[in-house]
Amino acid sequence: MNKLGRTPIVDLLRSALAGSSVNVAGWVRTRRDAREFSFLEINDGSCLANLQVVVAEHCAGYEHIREASTGSAVEIVGVLIESPGKGQRVELQASALRIVGGCPEDYPLQKKRHSDEFLREIGHLRSRTNKYGALFRIRSRLSFAVHEFFQRRGFHYIHTPIITGADCEGAGEMFRVTTLSGTEGGRQFGADDFSGDFFGKPAHLTVSGQLAVETFCLALSKVYTFGPTFRSENSNTSRHASEFWMIEPEIAFADLEDDMLLAESFVRHLLEFLQTDCREDLALFTQFVDPELADRLRNVLEAEFARVSYTEAIEILASSRHTFEFEPIWGRDLQSEHERYLTEQHFKGPVFVYDWPKEIKAFYMRQNADGKTVAAMDLLVPKIGELIGGSQREERHDYLLERINALGFKAADYWWYLDTRRFGSAPHAGFGLGFERLLMFATGISNIRDVIPFPRSPRNLEF
Ligand code: 4AD
Ligand code: MG
């Protein structure tokens, strides 16, 4: 029982004994009326299953039973009995019913099943459905598993800033943060004099906590950050969100090989945790969303993660009989059709693609001896494509400075980052895992908007 004397339904269904008196509170999923009693199905979000409640004439508050409509909030006191019916171990024989909040007929979740598109329009209510309730419980449990994985291994959790003065990826896909209105100070919004703005310089929402977490890595050795990141890329795909959560570990005295080993054990840990901890919720996704989900998860856990260099990957793609919309050419980024071919058709499981052309990767990645590639890796998984992007970082001051200059960035903007390469620099590596992509992989849900509570994408900012 909790402080209010109520028992979560999950505890009642799993462990409470028949004969115990309990007090539950939740929302009515359905009501079926017979002549002298009614059945209520109550859900409190503590688990997927509902509690069946029998409310008979002798129950206090029975006169209000018609107000216990689908969607209404109720509180019930009663005695658990062994259920004579099928489908549940116990049910509740109510002795008192209280309507906490009624729910009129225009409640949009009257039916059992609704399309994802419709539910996206009612993001404030969709977590009351079985599917989204299950999804957001999984999201919560996997967040816990992320922390558990790192904390058990001695990593320190660093809260990297949300508002930043640096563009980590150098890709310029950033949202500006300003307190200026359009023409304040006589200057047009977008002018390059920021003296009148809040920070006196350009400020943006972060695209990645990496540069900040790297500085802590070179002090605490094993660190990670897990927080929201923001990208203004105008790609309206099912795998891109404008606001998403990223997990970014960073390890000192480590190279790309160590980075891939860490990434593999991390992904395995999360999927193993999911299968044991979220069994009931997970089964819903295999049953109603993606029939191949259970097999796919099992295969991933049984398979070795394959490894292939970018150069070999291009050769595999170029020599395959598959027709791609975009020709695979060395020096170009992999398209999602290429990623999917490699992981689904060729390797039939997760694959690390490493050593990428330096021209298409970020400035901070460590240059390889061939002068053409950098020590970068992407982890590709079936159905999703890129789940992780990471690299060994350029720890050599002069190489880093040369790259910053070659790309036309201002070295002065990166003074603190460059400093860490002057004062006790050490090889280090890290990666970023997109949490929503992981959830898509874990549940078979195919649109990123359906795995985050309130999705943000171009032209979409409701709630
Ligand atoms: O490959 P990315 O851009 O790498 C970085 O940001 C590095 N700074 C990470 C690091 O080394 N610490 O992004 C990492 C991952 C991608 O593999 C993808 O899973 C996810 O973040 N991601 C997105 N997820 C949803 N919506 C978007 N717009 C995403 N962009 C990247
Ligand atoms: Mg990437």
CA of 388 to the centre of ligand 2 (A): 7
Give the mean pLDDT of 439-453: 98
Identify the helix (H) or strand (E) that includes residue 436: helix 435-443
Largest alpha-carbon pair distance within the chain?
84
Q: Which amino acid is at 267?
A: V
Give the mean pLDDT of 419-437: 98
Q: What is the pLDDT of residues 31-69, one digit of tens each?
A: 999 999 999 999 999 999 999 999 999 999 999 999 999
> Residue 86: its pLDDT value, please?
81
- Asked if residues 443 and 275 have their Cβ atoms less than 8 Å apart, the reply is no
Asked whether the predicted pLDDT for residue 204 surpasses 70, the reply is: yes
Residue nearest atom 30 in ligand 1 by C-alpha distance: 240
> Residue 2: its pLDDT value, please?
47
Asked whether the predicted pLDDT for residue 192 surpasses 80, the reply is: no
CA of 59 to the centre of ligand 2 (A): 60
Q: Give the class (CATH, top level) of 9-101.
A: mainly beta
CA of 435 to the centre of ligand 2 (A): 13
Residue 17 to residue 9: CA distance in whole angstroms: 13
CA of 433 to the centre of ligand 1 (A): 6
> Residue 194: its pLDDT value, please?
84
Residue nearest atom 9 in ligand 1 by C-alpha distance: 432
Residue nearest atom 2 in ligand 1 by C-alpha distance: 389
Q: What is the pLDDT of residues 119-150, one digit of tens each?
A: 999 999 999 999 999 999 999 999 999 999 99
Q: What is the pLDDT of residues 223-247, one digit of tens each?
A: 999 999 999 988 889 999 999 999 9
Q: What distances in angstroms separate CA 80 from CA 32, 33, 144, 235, 282, one per listed residue?
A: 19, 20, 32, 53, 27
Identify the helix (H) or strand (E) that includes residue 135: helix 130-152
Sequence-distant (≥ 6) Cβ neighbours of residue 452 within 8 angstroms: 241, 243, 244, 245, 436
Structure tokens belonging to residue 304: 């070795």
Q: How many CA atoms lie within 13 A of 423 on its CB side?
A: 9
Identify the helix (H) or strand (E) that includes residue 263: helix 256-277
CA of 264 to the centre of ligand 2 (A): 17
Q: Within 10 A of 109 (CB to CB), how many other CB atoms are there?
A: 18
Domain boundaries, the chain: 9-101, 126-171+207-450
Asked whether the predicted pLDDT for residue 184 surpasses 70, the reply is: no
CA of 389 to the centre of ligand 2 (A): 5
Is residue 1 very low, low, confident or very high in pLDDT (cuts 50, 70, 90)? very low
Q: What is the pLDDT of residues 330-362, one digit of tens each?
A: 999 999 999 999 999 999 999 999 999 999 999
- Asked if residues 36 and 65 have their Cβ atoms less than 8 Å apart, the reply is no
> Residue 85: its pLDDT value, please?
80
In percent, how much of the chain has pLDDT > 70?
Answer: 96
Mean predicted lDDT score pLDDT of the chain: 94
Residue 82 to residue 92: CA distance in whole angstroms: 9
Which of 179-193, 241-255, 400-414 has the least mean pLDDT? 179-193
Is residue 4 very low, low, confident or very high in pLDDT (cuts 50, 70, 90)? low
- Angle CA 17–22–27, to nearest 5: 115
Cα-flanking dihedrals φ and ψ of residue 56, to 5°? -105, 175
Q: What is the pTM of this model?
A: 0.96
Beta bridge partners of 377: 354, 390
Q: Provide the 3-class DSSP secondary structure of residue 312.
A: helix
Is residue 187 very low, low, confident or very high in pLDDT (cuts 50, 70, 90)? low
Asked whether the predicted pLDDT for residue 79 surpasses 50, the reply is: yes
DSSP letter string, 76-113: EEEEEEE-SSSS-SEEEEEEEEEEEE---TT-S--SS-
Asked whether the predicted pLDDT for residue 202 surpasses 80, the reply is: yes
- Asked if residues 39 and 78 have their Cβ atoms less than 8 Å apart, the reply is no
Cα-flanking dihedrals φ and ψ of residue 366, to 5°? -75, 130
Q: What distances in angstroms separate CA 10 from CA 48, 97, 116, 137, 154, one per listed residue?
A: 8, 20, 26, 12, 32
Q: Which amino acid is at 338?
A: H
> Residue 168: its pLDDT value, please?
65
> Residue 88: its pLDDT value, please?
81
Q: Provide the 3-class DSSP secondary structure of residue 367.
A: strand
Q: Which amino acid is at 374?
A: V
Sequence-distant (≥ 6) Cβ neighbours of residue 351 within 8 angstroms: 305, 306, 307, 308, 342, 343, 379, 380
Ligand 1 pocket, Cβ-based, cut-off 6 angstroms: 168-169, 208, 210, 231, 240-241, 244, 246, 248, 386-391, 430-432, 434, 436-437, 448
Nearest ligand, CA of residue 432? Answer: 1
Q: Give the class (CATH, top level) of 126-171+207-450.
A: alpha beta
Residue nearest atom 6 in ligand 1 by C-alpha distance: 208
Length of the chain: 463
Residue nearest atom 25 in ligand 1 by C-alpha distance: 240
Choose the residue to mutate in 158, 168, 244 for probing ligand 1, maximizing ligand atoms within 8 Å of C-beta: 244
